Amino acid sequence: MSPLTATIFYSNSSCIFANAIQYSLSNKVCVPSSSKCVKVTQDSYIRNACVPETVSNPQDIASFGQKYFDRDVPQILSLSSGANCVGTVKGGWQSLADYCMPALNTKAYVAWKLTFNSTGGIFLSTYLDHNCTSTGLKDVLPYGSVDAQSCQVDNTVSIVNYQGYYIVTAYTGSDCKTPLNVEKFISPRKCQETPCYQHEFGDYVTFQCATNIDSKKLVQSTFNEVPTYKFTQYTDDKCRLFSYDRDYRLNTCSSGRFGDYAQSVNTTIPDDGSSIQLLYYSGSNCKGQLVSNLIYETDGTCTSNGVVVFNKRLISSIPSLMSQSPSASLNGSTNSTSSGVSRTLLAGPYVSQ
């Protein structure tokens, strides 16, 4: 047998679908585990498997590991193969995106995970705690792309079982004719298109699938030159690790769930376009009491784990949009948030990632 051993990680004792596989070299003969897996932490179980001698390159290792995962989910493969990624594979990981893994052979951090952004970039984040929490985040580094295999710090990085992109468009009403926002992200499992329906968040949405996406063309085709802004949500308060982003139609009311008290939100902008103000209302259709407002600067400043940018050329060409926007404040404040109101534009991604 090959000295390459696979340690397979599961989230429960049934050990049906893997979360990650650690590949490692050993001087000992590989001995596979019995059919039962072993509990190593409160929510982690493992068992071992032996990699056949004929399996040695990244493509074959990916195929070997794929059978342990749900067949519909993509994985990220990172294999250590020496300087410039030209040597023999010495070990590595095959894992689901956003899965927290223990850091081995280093004291610089104790855990790490790999994630995607909305344009297919792969990122390596390291943590000073074992649960990969936002407060324990240490560093975030670019780590390749879904577009092609690459060499990252002597590790061959590629995506396995790529499922393409989801495009989720939310609309202002049940006829799904006027787009409110559009979001794209790497599909966390086999992509399935759906016609217009009311999502649990309250929006009417459609789901589309795509192999690749031109972000600018997507926004242009969705909104047809209507002024928009992009909101990017991060997991940490320094806006380092990407969570999701959406392009929004300006000055358009969005109804849904926004914390405990708000049922809708609208946006206003000053004449100079330096910021966007979110106005949260107690009723749907931006009616009822104004319960909170929040200001995001549009210069890339990180505010409440988020960043806002917009197309200033389009906005400046439609001055009436700004003059018609309502203004509001809470107790004389222009940058406050009421208890129980979400500090993000929407409740989160439409599909769990």
Q: Which tens digits make up the pLDDT trace of 81-129?
A: 889 998 889 999 999 999 998 887 889 999 999 999 999 999 999 999 9
- In angstroms, the CA 26 to CA 143 distance is 27
Q: Which pLDDT does position 334 carry in this prediction?
A: 34
What is the token pair recorded at 145? 């792309």
Q: Which pLDDT does position 100 carry in this prediction?
A: 94
> Average model confidence (pLDDT) for the chain?
85
DSSP assignment letter at 135 = G
Q: Which pLDDT does position 235 carry in this prediction?
A: 95
Above 50 in pLDDT, residue 327?
no
Above 70 in pLDDT, residue 312?
no
Above 60 in pLDDT, residue 2?
no
pLDDT band at 270 (very low <50, low <70, confident <90, very high): confident
**One-letter-per-residue 3-state SS of 21-62:** EEEEECCCCCCCCCCCCEEEECCEEEEEEECCCCCCCHHHHH
Q: Which pLDDT does position 311 carry in this prediction?
A: 63
Q: Which pLDDT does position 92 carry in this prediction?
A: 94
Contact 279, 328 (CB under 8 A): yes
In order, the DSSP letters of 179-247 are EEEEEEEE-SSS---EEEEE-TTS-EEEEEEESS--HHHHHHHHHTT--EEEEEEESSTTS-SEEEEEE
Q: How buried is residue 276: exposed, middle or buried, by Cβ count under 10 Å (0-12/13-18/19+)?
A: buried
pLDDT band at 326 (very low <50, low <70, confident <90, very high): very low
Above 50 in pLDDT, residue 151?
yes
Q: Which tens digits make up the pLDDT trace of 201-259?
A: 778 999 999 998 998 899 999 998 888 899 999 999 999 999 999 999 988 888 777 87
pLDDT band at 25 (very low <50, low <70, confident <90, very high): confident
What is the token pair recorded at 65? 């590991």
Q: Which pLDDT does position 337 carry in this prediction?
A: 37
Domain boundaries, the chain: 4-160, 163-224, 227-346
Q: How buried is residue 77: exposed, middle or buried, by Cβ count under 10 Å (0-12/13-18/19+)?
A: buried
Above 60 in pLDDT, residue 340?
no
- In angstroms, the CA 290 to CA 222 distance is 30
Across the range 181-196, mean pLDDT stands at: 94
Share of the chain above pLDDT 70, in %: 87
Across the range 159-167, mean pLDDT stands at: 95
pLDDT band at 283 (very low <50, low <70, confident <90, very high): very high
Across the range 171-176, mean pLDDT stands at: 90
Q: Which pLDDT does position 34 carry in this prediction?
A: 67
Q: Which amino acid is at 275?
A: S
Phi/psi for 153 (5° steps) reads 50, 50
Q: How buried is residue 240: exposed, middle or buried, by Cβ count under 10 Å (0-12/13-18/19+)?
A: middle
**What does each C-alpha distance from 83 to 55, 88, 153, 283, 329 come to in angstroms?**
21, 10, 8, 60, 58
Above 70 in pLDDT, residue 180?
yes
- In angstroms, the CA 93 to CA 348 distance is 29
* Closest CA relative to residue 80, chosen from 140, 160, 24, 26: 24
Contact 92, 80 (CB under 8 A): yes
Q: Which pLDDT does position 40 carry in this prediction?
A: 82
Phi/psi for 212 (5° steps) reads -150, 165
